[in-house]
A and B are shown apart, each in its own frame.
Chain A
Amino acid sequence: MRPPTVNRRPARARRSAIAALCLLVAGFGAAHALGASGGLSVTPGILEHVAQPGGGGSLKVSNTTSRPMKVSLAVRPWLQSRSGSVAPNRRRVLGKVRPNRLSFGLRAGGTRTVRLRLARRPKGRSLYGAVEVTGTPKRRRGKGVRIAYRLVTSLRLYPPAGARRFRARPGRLFEHGTVRHGALFLAVKNAGNTIDPIGARVRISGHRHTLSGVVAPKTILPGATVNLRLTRLRGTLPRGRYRIGVRLTQAGHGVGGFRRGVRLR
């Protein structure tokens, strides 16, 4: 004899309805939390112009929050680490580029256009920097964590067509780790005035082994030095002395190279 069947549908439907309601409330809460505070936006995301005195372009800054905001603007040089990552250098400003307003108040829902002007011709005929727009919502100075918005857009003032220089200077060649688990790096300095990524072709020979390959290009700021990883060492080469040939390339141009001996440990 079969046991009496229990109709589970209403309970299941109730549970589903409660779950859906919870999701809806959570979603609405998150949306409300975001919507209530709104945000800050900058257009365009990248400013690109030819480096000519007087030029520089303009930025539109919008406050979409429901409260007034204090906006400050700074044009800073980039700081590039040896691994290639970049951040605006918050201790310096690019004096050659002058915004028409350094700070201003922006009411709720307000928009303001800021013009940038290149005061004089830069030394290398090009200039690359970060435009840092910081928006602090007006609020009593209180305890706990307060937040402010910081939008970093890229300012690229390219050299005129006839003044573009592609040049790279190879530096120290070094091994990180061992031949089993390591990599071979080359410090490369961008001695030109463009930010076209710099790559390389590499050939390592010796001990009846030859290894050749193409190094993934990296963006290096003019004047900055970044370590390019020439190859990974995974036990394919035994220890000993090798001859290394490197040819650096930038925007399809050969921009430098060398042949050196290196001892792999």
Chain B
Amino acid sequence: MSAGRASTTIWFSARRAKRDSFAVSARTRNRAGALALAVAVLATSLVLAALARGQGSPVPGGTVPSTLSLSLSQPSPFRRAGSAGRGSVYTSVIHAEVTATDTPIRLSLADGEVTRGPRLGHLVRGSSVLSPALRAQAGGGAFLSLDAAFPPQLKRWGRPLSGATTKIRLRQEAPDARVVRNHHKLLLVTLTAEGP
């Protein structure tokens, strides 16, 4: 009986010793963490004090002249993207890069050959007009038809831009690729700074 109690005591004491060692290691870790934190706080305060003494609060800034700039890639050749009705859908892509300081900035696409009439927004070849009208989209928006009297706004930015890129996608439905290739159109990629 006594032997059993003694063994129990020993077992308990061993367990306590193990627990105590854990407690000691945890305490040591806490102390090390607190020391590191104190050193970090001290270093940060010293750096901030040096900055404040040197040149006041560090506020980066500058001014740029009011500007409006547009860069465009050549439109890629029309490629078949799917089928629609009795024909196919062909798409072409134009990469645009915009830099502008005055907001809001609007990107739109207009017909560069006519401003009204049945040829507005359509690919043409001589007297032949390809129907339906060319459609355009930019930055994941909806495809908008270019035959509207008011040029469709493809994208709008509410902040100044520096080298912002966007993709303008053109879509044309046609019976075959040769028809699309043989027609032509001059498009005005328009960038407008602010309103009136």
Q: A68-103: which residues lie under 8 A (CB-CB) from chain B?
A: 78-81, 85-87, 90-91
- List the count of A-B residue pairs having beta carbons below 8 Å apart: 148
A39 at the interface (CB under 8 A from B): yes
Q: Is the pair A87, B195 in contact by a Cβ cutoff of 8 Å?
A: no
B48 at the interface (CB under 8 A from A): no
Task: Return the CB mask of B18-62 against A: 1 if under 8 Å, else 0.
Answer: 000000000000000000000000000000000000000000000
Residue of A nearest to B101 (CB): A45
Q: A132-170: which residues lie under 8 A (CB-CB) from chain B?
A: 134, 136, 142-154, 156
Q: Is the pair A219, B191 in contact by a Cβ cutoff of 8 Å?
A: no
Main SS at interface, chain A? strand
Q: Is the pair B68, A148 in contact by a Cβ cutoff of 8 Å?
A: no
Give the number of residues in B that approach A within 8 Å (Cβ atoms). Answer: 50
Knowing A44-B67, A152-B192, A152-B193, the reply to whether A37 touches B72 (Cβ < 8 A) is: yes
B8 at the interface (CB under 8 A from A): no
Q: Is the pair A148, B71 in contact by a Cβ cutoff of 8 Å?
A: no
Interface residues on A, range: 35 or more
- Chain B nearest Cβ from A28, distance in angstroms: 13
Residue of B nearest to A79 (CB): B150
Top 10 nearest A-B pairs (CB, nearest first) are A39-B71, A41-B69, A44-B66, A33-B73, A45-B193, A45-B102, A152-B192, A150-B190, A150-B188, A45-B66
- Contacts A144-B75, A152-B190, A154-B195 known; list 19 others, CB within 8 Å: A33-B74, A34-B72, A37-B71, A41-B69, A45-B66, A86-B195, A91-B116, A128-B196, A130-B192, A130-B196, A145-B78, A145-B123, A145-B185, A147-B188, A148-B188, A150-B190, A152-B192, A154-B193, A156-B196
